[in-house]
Amino acid sequence: MQEDIKTRLVEVAGELFGERGYEAVGVREICQQATANVAAVNYHFGDKRGLYVACLRHAQSCRVDDLLLPLPADMPAAEKLRHFIRGMLESKLDPTRPQWHLELMLREMGRPTDACSEIVEDYIRPMAESLAEIMQGLLPGDQWNRQTWMIGFSIIAQVLFYHVNQPVVRLLMGPDGFETLSLDVITDHITRFSLAAIGQGPPVDRNDPSDVAAPQSHK
């Protein structure tokens, strides 16, 4: 019963925080919508900030555990990169994920609160370090410098584009073109594009016979 209340508080608060931001949402409103006593917030989370952090953790941690598992030592680095990209896409594009996960994280990343550093250290940095280890098998030299950081950011940015900009992609490509963007198609493209960019794969061939999507125009 207590876990049900705790879960309801996170779900309701996460949606409200995602819509309006931390400052604009009160504990009483959250508890009314979650059909919970105001004291439940203090009991489960300590205070409103604790509840907010719990919402961020819930939104960020969804389906990312597999990305942090060690991969077989004999797996080629390029295949490790593909595994990482696929895992991120599966997490971000999971159709069962509530919309507030995206809205809350976009709000927090765009206008960070003091909770941002906790989320970075507990969730984002471990993922970055996992990608860094993969990239060390693909890039010459042992130093993780500014250039390798930027390469890593570029890979992550490609994944996040398909997560954040789905409505725009659907409008540009049209419904039929959008439906061709399966997890496999996006994973393969980001992997091939990234490997080509760092000189570890052939140039991307835009003359793919299976590619039938054309730009959509409403002019």
CB contact at 8 A, 48 and 41: yes
**How do residues 110-153 score in pLDDT, each as one tens digit?**
999 999 999 999 999 999 999 998 998 898 776 678 888 999 99
Classify residue 205: in a domain, yes or no: no
Evaluate the CA torsion angle 28, 34, 36, 40 in order and state its sign.
negative
C-alpha atoms less than 13 angstroms from C-alpha of 154 in its C-beta half-sphere: 15
Q: Is there a contact between 98 and 114 (Cβ–Cβ < 8 Å)?
A: no
pLDDT at 2 over 90: no
Last residue of a domain, one of 36, 60, 84: 60
Name the token pair of 198: 């760092």
63: confidence class by pLDDT, cuts 50, 70, 90: low
38 and 120 together in one domain: no
Pair 83, 116 in one domain? yes
Is 203 a member of any domain? no
**CA distance linking residue 109 with residue 149, whole number of Å:** 18
Between CA 19 and CA 169 the distance in angstroms is 23
Does 210 reside within a domain?
no
**Maximum distance among all alpha carbons in the chain?**
61
Residues 205-216 have a mean pLDDT of 60
Buried b or exposed e, range 187-200, using 16+ CB within 10 angstroms: bebbbbebbeebee
What single-letter DSSP state applies at residue 71?
P
Look at residue 169 and tell me if it is in a domain.
Answer: yes
Distance CA 101, CA 18 (A): 8
Tokens at 61, concatenated: 């941690």
125 falls within a domain = yes
- Quick one: 73 and 30 in the same domain? no
Residues 114 and 165 occupy one common structural domain: yes
Q: What integer is the mean pLDDT of 159-165?
A: 95
From the number of C-beta atoms within 10 Å of its C-beta (0-12, 13-18, 19+), residue 120 rates as middle
Together in a domain, 56 and 92 = no
Tell me, what CATH number does 183's domain have?
Answer: 1.10.357.10
* One domain, residues 86 and 154: yes
Question: How many domains, the chain?
Answer: 2
Mean of the pLDDT values across residues 10-37? 96
The answer as to whether 187 is a domain residue is: yes
**Burial class, 93, CB count within 10 angstroms (exposed 0-12 / middle 13-18 / buried 19+):** middle
Residues 72 and 47 in one domain: no
Which secondary structure element, helix H or strand E, spans residue 168, and what is its range? Answer: helix 166-179
**Containing domain of residue 33, as a range?**
2-60
186 occurs within a structural domain: yes
Specify whether 80 is located in the same domain as 8.
Answer: no
More confident residue, 188 or 209: 188
Residue 128 shares a structural domain with residue 139: yes
Looking at the fold, whether 20 and 75 belong to one and the same domain comes out as no
* Residue 17: strand, helix, or coil: helix
What mean pLDDT do residues 73-96 have? 93
What's the rounded Cα separation, in Å, for the pair 144 and 131?
11
* φ, ψ dihedrals at 176, nearest 5°: -65, -45
The answer to whether residues 100 and 181 belong to one domain is yes
Residue where a domain terminates, one of 28, 45, 60: 60
3-state secondary structure of 213: coil
Q: Is 14 within a domain? A: yes
Specify whether 158 is located in the same domain as 55: no
The residue with tokens 């125009």 is 217
